[in-house]
Amino acid sequence: MRLSQLPWTTLKETPAEAEVVSHQLLLRAGLIRRLTSGIFTWMPLGLRVLRRVEQVVREEMDRAGALEVLMPAVQPAELWQETGRWERYGDLLLRIRDRHERDYCFGPTHEEIITDLARRELRSYRQLPVNYYQIQTKFRDEIRPRFGLMRAREFVMKDAYSFHLDQDSLDTTYAAMAQAYTRIFRRLGLRFRTVDADSGEIGGSRSQEFHVLADSGEDAIAYCDADGYAANVEMAPTFPPAAPRPAPAAALARVATPDSRTIEEVSALLRTAPARCLKTLLVEAADGGLVALALRGDHNLNAVKAERLPQVARPLAMATAERIRAVTGVPTGFAGPVGLDVPLIVDHAAAALADFVAGANAEGFHHTGVNWGRDAPEPAVADLRNVVPGDPSPRGGALEIARGIEVGHIFQLGDKYSQAMHATVLDQDGRERIMTMGCYGIGVSRIVAAAIEQNHDAQGIVWPAPMSPFDVTLLVLNPKNSDAVTAAAGALYLQLQEAGLEVLLDDRDARPGVKFAEADLLGIPHRLVIGERGLKEGLVEYRRRRDGAEEKVASSDAVAFLVRQLAATDPG
RNA sequence: CGGGGUGUAGCUCAGCUUGGUAGAGCGCUUGCUUCGGGAGCAAGAGGUCGCAGGUUCGAAUCCUGUCACCCCGACCA
């Protein structure tokens, strides 16, 4: 592509609307433009990146035996009513109505559509297993779209759905998909991690997420390189402390803490470590009352774990200040286990405390020297907290925490949808059997953003080679001043293309500094410069974007040299 | 949806407190000079100050309403 033919606008200044690097650089490099909140246009150069990601995904899905289809984006309400999600999915579902006042939605996901398709198309166990996939535009009316492509409302997703007669078959396909996903992210040149995950609203049993590692990631991942364990912190279990609880040493005392409600305030006032304080949280209970959840002051509540408790209302809801006052008679900030009259569930670590500080269930007072069994009943104990660095891994090592961006998620759905929609086949004995399903998603457009979050520097984007919009960019310096330079550049441009490379030729009538700066911003991994200076000696200049490594190459060797560079950097 | 914030030229922003002629930098156009890391000089084009109503002789500025966008929380690829 000749840049002189492309109306390409870059931005020197960061648009005010962009908060995260990927969003800023996508806008500055002219790869996307915002139409409205969470909805973007892919510009010519940006679309090339998206297409390259799609292509890798497509190749690996095909290799894994999945079948590409393209389902409609607009879906009739009836199918969603069949599974009950027309109501349950809530406002995330963009509902639309046609001229006949019939209800539709713009598809946020396609379980209903594919299950409907499967129950029509699949009649016999002989046709199973089958795995359909598509790469398609989804719409989710997010409460708050943000971070550009990271959480857009309209986005490109690869979603696959597999159908099976039994669990063994599902296990096989699930494993094949896990392997395909690993190949995809590896081929794209991304640093990523596969983690155990909560299956969430979509339902089902087994579930794993694929996270691109980046400090700006919205998710926290607990992992241990030594033993290979990795899980979303939502899922990573904690264990009862190995050491037994110390015997009580201090007497229970009631102290005035008039304006101290938070752990920070109380621990500062009483000169105690937060780890020696009890954090008592009041949440809505399943029976309509409240439940108290207690943690060590330096630990955080894990909502997924809390929701699993039968006593706790789903979804997890912290009690409001009014509710707390109405039920306990005390304002927020002073709840504690001594004399508490709502049910109490305590985290392992907090149950191992002795002589600790806790709220006194009276406005302006806390207790010190509190001990379980003596001052408050031996509590019901559960795993309630998020893991912290250093916690033991389930496999024996010690956990570390990293930030990640979720770009893929695979689930075993079981018969949740096939049951609701009666998707059956006849088995070997001629009996009708509900099919078992798996589903497998990749956030294709999100990968583009995640790749930038992980690969950028002060100058701009540093594309992993497999998803770069071009393999190489060829800058022609001052083409107007020298016909020889222009001719040499044109010839090299053709030769590179003949060698099978995608080339971006910067033949614009622009100053060299502009070309250098914009090339860095755009982030193509390999750059060749052809200018009067070098050409006199028969040389072109090579520069690698990632580390700035430079080399002068005889123009006659340039193509061969570049082919070698590409081979060295392309993992695919 | 709750809380916070912002809407002035394509982009980044000033002007608003204390009402009176709409500004700067970048970008764009033309010319000259430049030309190996986002050039210099000169001349230009470009704005119903988000929208609607109100107050006023007069509103970007004050008041009311409304819309859009951004940020913080719960959800997700």
The confidence score (pLDDT) of residue A572 equals: 45
Nucleotide nearest to A510 (CA to C1'): B35
Banded pLDDT at A205 (limits 50, 70, 90): low
Q: Band the pLDDT of A465: cuts 50, 70, 90.
A: very high
Q: In this structure, are residues A539 and A560 in contact, taking their beta carbons and an 8 Å threshold?
A: no
For residue A541, give the nucleotide whose C1' atom is nearest its CA. B36
CA of A49 to C1' of B28 (A): 28
Task: For residue A158, give the nucleotide whose C1' atom is nearest its CA.
Answer: B77
How long is the CA A93 to C1' B12 vector, in angstroms? 36
Instruction: Give the range among A5-19, A253-267, A315-329, A397-411 with minimum mean pLDDT.
Output: A315-329
Distance A16 CA to B55 C1' (A): 34
Task: Write down the ipTM of this complex.
Answer: 0.93
For the entire predicted model, the pTM comes to 0.91
The per-residue pLDDT of chain A, averaged, comes to 92
Torsion of CA A403, A135, A36, A185, to 10 degrees: 20
Q: Does residue A467 contact residue A451 with C-beta atoms inside 8 Å?
A: yes
Choice among A8-17, A259-268, A379-388, A452-461 with the minimum mean pLDDT = A259-268
Q: How far is the CA of A96 from the C1' of B65 (A)?
A: 29
Tell whether the model's pLDDT for residue A202 goes beyond 70: no
Length A519 CA → B30 C1' (Å): 28
Ordered DSSP codes for A122-148: --BGGG-SEEEEEEEEEE---SS-BTG
- Only one residue has tokens 């597999």, namely A162
Tens-place pLDDT, residues A110-126: 999 999 999 999 999 99
Residue nearest to nucleotide B71 (CA to C1'): A19
Report the DSSP beta bridge partners of residue A97.
A103
Nucleotide nearest to A535 (CA to C1'): B36
Q: What percent of chain A has pLDDT over 70?
A: 98
Q: What is the Cα–Cα distance from A172 to A531, expressed in whole angstroms?
A: 57
Q: How far is the CA of A463 from the C1' of B37 (A)?
A: 20
Protein-covered nucleotides on strand B (Cβ within 7 A)? 1-2, 11-13, 25-27, 34-39, 68-77
Q: How far is the CA of A350 from the C1' of B6 (A)?
A: 45
CA of A444: nearest nucleotide by C1' is B77
Tokens of A247: 């015997």
Classify residue A356 by its DSSP letter.
Answer: E
Confidence at A160, pLDDT banded by 50, 70, 90 = very high
DSSP assignment of A378-409: PPEEE--B---TTPBPTTSSB-EEEEEEEEEE
Q: Are A285 and A317 in contact (CB under 8 A)?
A: no
Supply the pLDDT for residue A16. Answer: 85
Q: Which nucleotide is nearest to A447 (CA to C1')?
A: B77
Cis amide linkage into residue A244, ω under 30° from 0? no
